[in-house]
Amino acid sequence: MGLTKLLGSKATRSLTVLSVLSEAKRAFSRGKRIRAVFLLGLAVVAWKWTMLGVAAQGVLKLVRGR
């Protein structure tokens, strides 16, 4: 129950969205527009479902190789 409360907090959601938006900015500056658009959409979804945003970022980092 504690983990659910932590992941549902406004601060956690805000940090997740900011993190996804910074990844989108980085992708756009590197010329990867499709990835940037995907990340912008993910930022919108991450506000509602925090775990989805965290999981998608993890997958992207694995795919990117960092």
The neighbour count for residue 21, using CB atoms within 10 Å, is 15
Amino acid at 40: L
Enclosing domain of residue 51: 2-64
Distance of CA 44 to the CA centre of its chain: 9
Pairwise CA distance, residues 66 & 51, whole Å:
20
Helix (H) or strand (E) run with residue 19 in it: helix 10-29
Residue of 30, 2, 6 lying closest to 54 (CA atoms): 6
What is the tens place of the pLDDT at every residue in 3-53? 566 566 778 788 888 888 888 899 899 998 998 998 888 888 888 877 777
Total domains in the chain come to 1
**Stated pTM of the model:** 0.72
